[in-house]
A and B are shown apart, each in its own frame.
Chain A
């Protein structure tokens, strides 16, 4: 029981991070129908910006921790969003109206480019940071001494994700920007006819997705304390799995899918085999694609000719 509870906490923290990344996949798919394979690397950029940010703050003598975290979050979100904008503007927009596979191939190229760029400027070695937020609550203790812990970092991850989700859901459901975004998803020609700048709305989708991925990147850096240029690939594919599992194109689906993948991974690692936790996540992808390709909350796609 105690062991189960601990894995539940771990799985929720991990799942929150996957969910934040998955939002970017699902939004971009919703609006332009492509899988942005460079999105995982956008998240990796966010993680590196966190390393740079925290290191820089450490160099100038440090700051009050909540202020430092807030500052790093803002810097990472702004710069990562700029990367997201640039990627869309130069790698995808010129290919709009081209054949369906073109932007997909361009995305894979972009992913490799971002990885190599970071490897070149930051080096191939793993980058550590000293722990920013330490400690936590001891929830309960088993007779044999096993304790269930909820760290402050896990609380930050879960609460921040929850808050961002509420803000984000409100943005999409209630604001003019959200309405424009949904209008472009449903009918781009008509969206332009009512006066929406479709290109700008697509750019904003990338910017928002990248900013959320940046938050995930900062959280992961603080959670694990290490980052390398290759983390975007695995996290990206898992978040993509989460988006597919939840129903690609569905925003709540992405979050639910993310939490599920996090939980499956945590429980699989705890009860079966930690070495094969990635296999568990990807088996879910295969099973989802075979038995429920439109996901938990997705709409069955009508094939357009």
Chain B
């Protein structure tokens, strides 16, 4: 479904991605793990068109989307809940969801919103509250909900567990696994919390300073000595 070929991206003068290649198959949860500054967010922002690629190709459903602007990529049904959640702080929960639905068929709005409220009942309680007043966990729920409002075929998540309490993290990972299983939604996820991510992921890639050093099944990587030493110990 998504194929990345030899993607290079510069971030200012720094070469953030040194030619990475990976693919995501329909219906999978694929995770990209790696340390801070390895280039994980850059990879996701390149897919979404918010950071221009230097060279290489990003192909989605057979179409080359490398050069498309961000607002066109959402229309190809790729939605992202970015790092830091980036909720519109001075808009209500419902307005945030409306913005998420910008590119979707307006006729489906009520149904999609009710589905999001079903996944995250907290958002329904807070629907007329401003985004900036939500807790971190609620903001993450809203970020995922907002992405789901665009009726994506590929959901991109950047560090959904960042800064959240372990209980909320478990809850959010359960919901990610649930939408993948029940709706067949494909998920591409970046995580520092590798342990949790590998538990639900079908496949995983390890990114080290702009290069992919390891790829494999989620369970395999969890058993891998190097991965354990670098990313799992202490989690």
Contact = CB atoms under 8 A, between A and B. Distances in A.
Contact of B86 (A176, A180, A182, A189): A189
Closest 6 CB pairs of A and B: A192-B70, A195-B103, A195-B74, A190-B86, A195-B102, A186-B88
Contacts of A195: 71, 74-75, 102-103, 150
A192 B103 CA distance: 11
Nearest to A182: B91
B102 A182 contact: no
Contacts of B89: 186
Contacts of A180: 99, 102
B69 interface: yes
10 contacts: A176-B102, A186-B89, A186-B91, A193-B50, A193-B70, A194-B100, A194-B146, A196-B71, A197-B69, A198-B71
Contact of B95 (A179, A189, A191, A196): A179
Given A192-B50, A194-B150, 13 more contacts: A179-B95, A182-B90, A182-B91, A186-B88, A187-B86, A190-B82, A192-B70, A193-B50, A193-B74, A194-B99, A194-B146, A195-B75, A196-B102
A193 B86 CA distance: 10
Contacts of B91: 179, 182-183, 186
Contacts of B90: 182, 186
A36 B98 CA distance: 30
B88 to A, nearest CB: 5
B42 interface: no
Contacts of A186: 88-91
B80 interface: yes
Interface string A162-196: 00000000000000100110110011011111111
Nearest to B86: A190
A74 B68 CA distance: 37
Contacts of A194: 74, 99-100, 102-103, 146, 150
A72 B74 CA distance: 42
A179 B98 contact: yes
Interface in B126-180: 146, 150
A197 B71 contact: yes
B186 interface: no
Nearest to B80: A193
Contacts of A176: 98, 102
Nearest to B98: A179
Among A182, A183, A194: residue with most chain B CB under 10 A: A194
B48 interface: yes
Contacts of A189: 50, 70, 82, 86
Contacts of B50: 189, 192-193
Nearest to B106: A176
A183 B74 CA distance: 16
B188 to A, nearest CB: 14
Among A180, A192, A193: residue with most chain B CB under 10 A: A193
A179 B69 contact: no
A192 B86 contact: no
Interface string B3-33: 0000000000000000000000000000000
A192 B98 contact: no
Interface in B91-113: 91, 95, 98-100, 102-103
A179 B69 CA distance: 20
A192 B95 CA distance: 16
B88 A182 contact: yes
Contacts of B74: 193-195
A179 B99 contact: yes
A187 B80 CA distance: 14
B69 A192 contact: yes
B88 A190 contact: yes
A190 B71 CA distance: 10
Nearest to A192: B70
Contacts of B102: 176, 180, 194-196
A203 to B, nearest CB: 14
A194 B151 CA distance: 11
B203 to A, nearest CB: 25
A182 B92 CA distance: 12
A182 B98 CA distance: 13
B35 to A, nearest CB: 23
A245 B138 CA distance: 36
A190 B139 CA distance: 14
